[in-house]
Amino acid sequence: MAKKILLIDDDFDLVEAMRITLEAAGFEVIDAQDGESGLNKIRSESPDLVILDVMMSSMDEGFHVAYKIRQEVAIKDTPIVMLTAVGNQTGFQFDPSKDADFLPVDAFLEKPVNPKNLVDVVRQNIKI
Amino acid sequence: MTLFPQTPAFSSSSILRRDQWLIRLRWFAIIGLLMGVALLQGISLGPPISIKWISITGALMILLNTSYVLYASGKRQFGMTSLVILLNLQMVVDLLLLTFLVYLTGGVESPLIFFYVFHIILASIIFQGGFSYYYSILVIFLFSALILFEQTNLVNHICFFQEIDLATDTRFVVGIWCIFVTTMVVSAYLAQDVTDRHRRVREKLEAANKKLQEINDTKTTFFRFASHEMKAPVATIQSTLMVIQDILGDDVDTRARDMLQRAIGRTSNIIQMLKDLADLTYGNLQEKQAFTKVDLNVLLTELLADTLPNAERKKLILTYNAPKRACEFDGDPSALRKVFSNLVSNAIRYTPEGGTIEVSLKYMSTFYEISVSDTGAGIPQSEQINIFKEFYRTPTAKKEVSEGTGLGLSIALRMVELHGGTIELTSIEGKGSCFTVQLPIGVGL
* B210 belongs to a structural domain: no
Q: A114 CB near a chain B CB, below 8 Å?
A: yes
* B192 belongs to a structural domain: no
| Residues of chain B positioned with their CB less than 8 A from the CB of A116 | 246
- Kindly state whether residues B297 and B251 are assigned to the same domain: no
Res B1 pLDDT > 50: no
- Kindly state whether residues B320 and B420 are assigned to the same domain: yes
Nearest to A30 by CA among A11, A52, A8, A13: A8
Is B242 in Cβ contact with A114 (below 8 Å)? Answer: yes
pLDDT at B3 (0 to 100): 47
- Domains in chain A, please, with CATH? 4-125 (3.40.50.2300)
- Kindly state whether residues B33 and B114 are assigned to the same domain: yes
- Kindly state whether residues B325 and B270 are assigned to the same domain: no
A12-64 pLDDT tens trace: 888 999 999 999 999 999 999 988 999 999 999 999 999 998 877 776 788 88
How confident is residue A92, by pLDDT bands cut at 50, 70 and 90? very low
* B201 belongs to a structural domain: no
Most confident of A46-55, A100-109, B275-284: A46-55
Question: Could you say which of B240, B256, B280 is where a domain stops?
Answer: B280
Integer distance in angstroms from the first to the last C-alpha of chain A? Answer: 11
Q: What percent of chain B has pLDDT over 70?
A: 92
* B173 belongs to a structural domain: no
* B5 belongs to a structural domain: no
| Residues of chain B positioned with their CB less than 8 A from the CB of A115 | 239, 242-243, 246
- Residue A40, amino acid: N
How confident is residue B284, by pLDDT bands cut at 50, 70 and 90? low
3-state secondary structure labels for all residues of chain B: CCCCCCCCCCCHHHHHHHHHHHHHHHHHHHHHHHHHHHHHHHCCCCCHHHHHHHHHHHHHHHHHHHHHHHHHHHCCCCCHHHHHHHHHHHHHHHHHHHHHHHHHCCHHHCHHHHHHHHHHHHHHHHCCCCHHHHHHHHHHHHHHHHHHHHHCCCCCCCCCCCCCCCCCCHHHHHHHHHHHHHHHHHHHHHHHHHHHHHHHHHHHHHHHHHHHHHHHHHHHHHHHHHHHHHHHHHHHHHHHHHHHHHHHCCCCCHHHHHHHHHHHHHHHHHHHHHHHHHHHCCCCCCHHHHCEEEEHHHHHHHHHHHHHHHHHHCCCEEEEECCCCCCEEEECHHHHHHHHHHHHHHHHHHCCCCCEEEEEEEECCCEEEEEEEECCCCCCHHHHCCCCCCCCCCHHHHHHCCCCCCCHHHHHHHHHHHCCCEEEEEEECCCEEEEEEEEECCCCC
ipTM: 0.73
What integer best gives the mean pLDDT of chain B?
Answer: 85
| Residues of chain B positioned with their CB less than 8 A from the CB of A111 | 231-232, 235-236, 239
Q: Give the neighbor-by-neighbor strand order of the sheet with A49-53.
A: A28-32, A4-8, A49-53, A80-84, A107-110
Those of residues 319-378 in B touching chain A at CB distance below 8 A are 334
CA-nearest residue of chain A to B238? A112
Q: What is the mean predicted confidence (pLDDT) over B180-209?
A: 90
pLDDT at B333 (0 to 100): 85
B171-189 pLDDT tens trace: 788 888 888 898 899 889 8
Count Cβ atoms within 10 A of the Cβ of residue B181 and give its class: 0-12 exposed, 13-18 middle, 19 or more buried. exposed
Q: What angle do CA B401, B402, B403 make, to 5 degrees?
A: 100
Q: What is the mean predicted confidence (pLDDT) over B248-254?
A: 82
B40-71 pLDDT tens trace: 888 777 788 888 899 999 999 999 999 988 88
- For chains A and B, CB pairs below 8 A equal 75
- Kindly state whether residues B137 and B266 are assigned to the same domain: no
| Segments forming the whole domain that contains residue B399 | 287-440
Is A21 in Cβ contact with B227 (below 8 Å)? Answer: no
Number of helices followed by number of strands (H, E) in chain A? 5, 5
Distance of alpha carbon B162 from alpha carbon B155, whole angstroms: 18
Q: Tell me which residue in A17, A55, A87 faces B240 most closely, judged by beta carbons.
A: A17
| Residues of chain B positioned with their CB less than 8 A from the CB of A93 | 290, 334
- Kindly state whether residues B134 and B92 are assigned to the same domain: yes
- Cα dihedral B11→B13→B17→B22 (10° resolution): 60
pLDDT at B124 (0 to 100): 84
Q: What angle do CA B45, B46, B48 make, to 5 degrees?
A: 110
Is B228 in Cβ contact with A85 (below 8 Å)? Answer: yes
B120-163 pLDDT tens trace: 888 888 887 778 888 999 999 999 999 999 999 888 888 887 77
Those of residues 202-231 in B touching chain A at CB distance below 8 A are 224, 227-228, 231
Distance of alpha carbon A49 from alpha carbon A66, whole angstroms: 12
- Kindly state whether residues B370 and B390 are assigned to the same domain: yes
CA-nearest residue of chain A to B334? A93
* B196 belongs to a structural domain: no
- Kindly state whether residues B123 and B246 are assigned to the same domain: no
* B355 belongs to a structural domain: yes
B363-406 pLDDT tens trace: 988 899 999 999 988 888 888 888 888 777 777 777 666 667 77
- Kindly state whether residues B262 and B335 are assigned to the same domain: no
Q: Which one has a higher pLDDT value, B303 or B407?
A: B303
- Residue B418, amino acid: L
Res B443 pLDDT > 90: no
Nearest-CA distance A73 → chain B (Å): 33
Q: Tell me which residue in A18, A24, A89 faces B224 most closely, judged by beta carbons.
A: A89
How confident is residue B90, by pLDDT bands cut at 50, 70 and 90? very high
Res A90 pLDDT > 50: no
Q: B82 CB near a chain A CB, below 8 Å?
A: no
Is A13 in Cβ contact with B228 (below 8 Å)? Answer: no
When scoring A88, A109, A114 by the number of chain B Cβ atoms within 10 A, the one with the most, hence best to mutate, is A88
* B184 belongs to a structural domain: no
pLDDT at B394 (0 to 100): 76
Q: A84 CB near a chain B CB, below 8 Å?
A: no
- Kindly state whether residues B63 and B138 are assigned to the same domain: yes
**Number of domains within chain B:** 3
Q: What is the mean predicted confidence (pLDDT) over B433-439?
A: 94
Question: Could you say which of B233, B258, B280 is where a domain stops?
Answer: B280
Q: Tell me which residue in A14, A21, A88 faces B279 most closely, judged by beta carbons.
A: A88
- Kindly state whether residues B133 and B41 are assigned to the same domain: yes
Q: A24 CB near a chain B CB, below 8 Å?
A: yes
- Kindly state whether residues B271 and B370 are assigned to the same domain: no
Res B10 pLDDT > 60: no
Q: What is the CATH number of the domain that holds B403?
A: 3.30.565.10
pLDDT at B154 (0 to 100): 86
Q: A59 CB near a chain B CB, below 8 Å?
A: no
Distance of alpha carbon A99 from alpha carbon A105, whole angstroms: 9
How confident is residue A89, by pLDDT bands cut at 50, 70 and 90? very low
| Main-chain dihedrals φ then ψ at residue A30, nearest 5 degrees | -125, 165
